[in-house]
Amino acid sequence: MVDLAVAYGRRQALAPFTATVRSGDWLGLIGPNGAGKSSLLRAVVGLVESRGDVLVDGSSLTLRTRRRRAELIAYVPQSPVIPDDMTGYEYVLLGRSPYVGYFGSESRKDKTIASDVLARLELTQFADRRLGQLSGGERQRLVIARALAQEAPILLLDEPTSSLDIGHQQQALELVAKLRRDHGLTVVSAMHDLTLAGQYSDRLVLLHEGHCVAAGPAAEVLQADTLAEFYGVRVTVHHEPDGTVVVVPRRDRL
Amino acid sequence: MAIGLASVVVALVAGVVVGPAGPTWWRIPLELLDRLPLVSIDSGINEAQWNIVWQVRAPRVVLGGLVGAMLAIAGAGYQGVFRNPLVDPYLLGAAAGAGLGATLAFTMLRDVTAGWVIDPVPAVSFVFALVTVAVTYVVGGAFGGGQRGGITLVLAGVAVVSFVTAVQTFILQRNVEVVRDVYNWILGRLSTAQWDDVRLVTPYVVVSSAVVLLHRRHLDLFRVGEDEAATLGAPVARIRLVVVIAATLGTAAVVSVSGLIGFVGVVVPHFVRLVAGAGHRRVLPLSLMFGAAFLILADIPGRVLTDPAETPIGVVTAFIGAPFFVIVLRARTRQ
């Protein structure tokens, strides 16, 4: 990303921002609400207008067609639209859209890939179920399955776990981590849970009011005084022996 | 699909068979068979009776089928694009514009065109319907545009429709003598249908339906919202524009010959979704077929009930449509 900037009217949601993500890396975006995390991700997939440029393999995304972009980048929005009466299989098959011609329909290969993804994520039992009948965790896994069916080397996740309980959070993130290992995916995710963000990302970027205020490995970015300054919170930061950084909110007893 | 086709055939036959005047009902299918090549049956129908069937009833039935099919598939297309099952093909002003056009034609052009061979009302209402929808699109695009254009477009439609309706009401109020003509036109009628009308609208119906049908996969993509459809590589704004143009063109064409027939565009796709699921690969073709069958059948009580006067078909569709709609809604909420 080179000097990517996003503005809504006069309000600048994201100041010029430059970052490089190496292929196969996981970059975690953190920051308080309204810091510009979602704007950054939406700008990358072209959902909001932005100045600046996004380079993939050294060439600009704006030079590619929308379909070609969809083959490169899969995006999981913060709150995906779930059509209640669509089946799990139909939903995952939508991920193949970038590969289908304008008036064409999905090929046998597209259908095989959709079925494979369902099988790989152990979601085959939901193939014929309607999305409206599934739980939040099951839907979330299907959303990730759809992104995976897109077979894009870059995966953008906007708060992928915000609606899930702690068990499903871990399940979903482990799934992404495993896929990243197996397929060499490059992941950029916006996350609220700082401990989880630190655990799964190789590098963190802390955004505040549209500016990048800290970047680096979890141990460097997640420091009590930094978080106090930008989140306005009192926290204790523990460093576990395995290198995990745990951020615990602190409560002053009266 | 087979059921859809069968319902169209049944409706066609029923539409041709039932009616005041004309030959005994059971003779007509025999005569129709007789007219097929290589078949010879003595149906006992004379030339005058056949003329009633072929020149009066048949064009009316065929036109009814075309109008119903077009309104239903246009409704399904609009509903897919705007992701709202309650949207009808008149949403962006096709009906209001056609109404204004007809009003103007009745008030201002009547003196001039009284001697004309061709009735100018359909042409004027067709043009006004298209212009109104174009205005909605321009107004909506002016502040909406971009990815979220769908919602802004609907709101622009609300504004444009009330403006156009206000103009129409103003004109009507100052020309009370045409109220009855305009009112009759608005209620919709197939009673004056001729083969010429059929020839006039067929190209629009065929092309518009084909274009909407060709976008069935894209409309399924729209079900996850315009933003996500865009990240899946769909040219969202272009698809919306093409489907809306096709649906509007077809709607304007049929409305200009049949008047404003309500409920078909909402009730038929709704019914189809309930029985066949919401995937557009089924909803679009089935709406086309059931729309045709529904309007042909709805036209039958209109010509028999108050014989020799006609009950306007707009009244019948709303009369059947409204209670039916309540039943569908009830079934939906129970699921």
- Nearest neighbour of B232 by CB, restricted to A49, A82, A97: A97
Angle B266-B268-B273 from CA coordinates, rounded to 5° = 95
User: Does position B38 have pLDDT exceeding 90, yes or no?
Assistant: no
Tokens standing for residue A178: 């495993």
User: Does position B146 have pLDDT exceeding 70, yes or no?
Assistant: no
Of the ranges A224-228, B51-55, B204-208, B328-332, which is most confident?
B204-208
User: Does position B212 have pLDDT exceeding 90, yes or no?
Assistant: yes
Asked if residues B121 and B108 have their Cβ atoms less than 8 Å apart, the reply is no
Mean pLDDT of A227-236: 84
Burial classification of residue A40, based on how many CB atoms lie within 10 Å of its CB (0-12 exposed, 13-18 middle, 19 or more buried): buried
User: Cβ–Cβ contacts within 10 Å for residue B304, how many?
Assistant: 13
**Domain over B2-334 is classified CATH 1.10.3470.10:** yes
Alpha helical stretches, state H, chain A: 37-44, 66-72, 88-93, 108-120, 136-149, 166-183, 194-200, 218-221, 224-231
User: Does position A3 have pLDDT exceeding 80, yes or no?
Assistant: no
Q: What number of CA atoms fall less than 13 Å from residue A199's CA on the CB side? A: 17
Please check whether residue B233 touches A, CB under 8 A: yes
Please check whether residue B211 touches A, CB under 8 A: no
Indicate the helix (H) or strand (E) that contains B103. Answer: helix B94-107
Chain B nearest C-alpha distance from A158 (Å): 13
Please check whether residue B238 touches A, CB under 8 A: no
CB–CB contacts below 8 A, A to B = 65
- Nearest neighbour of B224 by CB, restricted to A46, A83, A100: A83
The sign of the dihedral angle between the CA atoms of B240, B246, B249, B251 is negative
Q: Position of tokens 């978080």? A: A227
B154-167, pLDDT tens digit by residue?
888 889 999 999 99
Taking the C-alpha atoms of residue A97 and residue A149, their distance in angstroms, rounded to an integer, is: 10
Q: Judging by DSSP bridges, how do beta strands A186-190 and A154-158 pair with one another?
A: parallel
Percentage, residues of chain A above pLDDT 70: 94
Chain A residues with CB-CB distance to B277 below 8 A: 85
Angle A99-B245-B160 from CA coordinates, rounded to 5° = 130
Mean pLDDT of B178-207: 82
Mean pLDDT of B215-226: 89
Please check whether residue A150 touches B, CB under 8 A: yes
Q: Which residue of B has its CA nearest to A81?
A: B224
Which residues share a beta bridge with A73? A154
Chain A residues with CB-CB distance to B211 below 8 A: none
Taking the C-alpha atoms of residue A82 and residue B142, their distance in angstroms, rounded to an integer, is: 30
- Nearest neighbour of A98 by CB, restricted to B217, B224, B232: B232
- Nearest neighbour of B230 by CB, restricted to A66, A86, A103: A66
Chain A residues with CB-CB distance to B232 below 8 A: 70, 94-95, 97-98, 150
Chain B nearest C-alpha distance from A83 (Å): 6
Domains of chain A in start order, with CATH, are 2-221 (3.40.50.300)
Chain A residues with CB-CB distance to B221 below 8 A: 94, 97
- Nearest neighbour of A70 by CB, restricted to B146, B232, B277: B232
Tokens standing for residue A84: 């209640």
Mutate to test the interface with B, among A68, A81, A150 (most CBs of B within 10 A): A81
Taking the C-alpha atoms of residue B238 and residue B244, their distance in angstroms, rounded to an integer, is: 10
Chain B nearest C-alpha distance from A229 (Å): 34
A10-21, pLDDT tens digit by residue?
556 677 777 778
pLDDT of residue B117: 58
Mean pLDDT taken over chain A? 84
Taking the C-alpha atoms of residue A123 and residue A138, their distance in angstroms, rounded to an integer, is: 8
Q: Which residue of A has its CA nearest to B211?
A: A103
A155-171, pLDDT tens digit by residue?
999 988 777 788 878 88
Q: Long-range contact list for A160-168, CB < 8 A, 24+ apart?
A: A160/A76, A160/A189, A160/A191, A161/A191, A161/A193, A161/A196, A162/A78, A162/A192, A163/A79, A163/A136, A164/A136, A164/A137, A164/A140, A165/A137, A168/A136, A168/A137, A168/A140
User: Does position B145 have pLDDT exceeding 80, yes or no?
Assistant: no
Task: Output B42 or A196, whichever has higher pLDDT.
Answer: A196
Please check whether residue B279 touches A, CB under 8 A: yes
Cβ neighbours for B125, distance < 8 A, ≥ 6 positions apart: B97, B98, B99, B101, B102, B105, B252, B255, B256
pLDDT of residue B147: 45
Q: Position of tokens 């010029």? A: A16
Note whether B232 contacts A86, CB cutoff 8 Å. no
pTM, to two decimals: 0.84
B253-307, pLDDT tens digit by residue?
888 888 888 778 888 898 888 888 888 888 999 999 889 888 888 888 777 776 6
Taking the C-alpha atoms of residue B127 and residue B112, their distance in angstroms, rounded to an integer, is: 19
Residue A183 three-state SS = helix
Please check whether residue A94 touches B, CB under 8 A: yes
Asked if residues B318 and B307 have their Cβ atoms less than 8 Å apart, the reply is no
ipTM: 0.83
Question: Of B89, B126, B96, B101, which Cα lies nearest the Cα of B244?
Answer: B89
- Nearest neighbour of A86 by CB, restricted to B223, B231, B232: B223
Exposure string (b/e) for B157-188, b if CB count within 10 Å is 16 or more?
beebbebbbeebeebbeeeeebeebbeebbbb
Please check whether residue B221 touches A, CB under 8 A: yes
pLDDT of residue A101: 82
pLDDT of residue B73: 94
Tokens standing for residue B231: 């990240």
Chain B nearest C-alpha distance from A176 (Å): 19
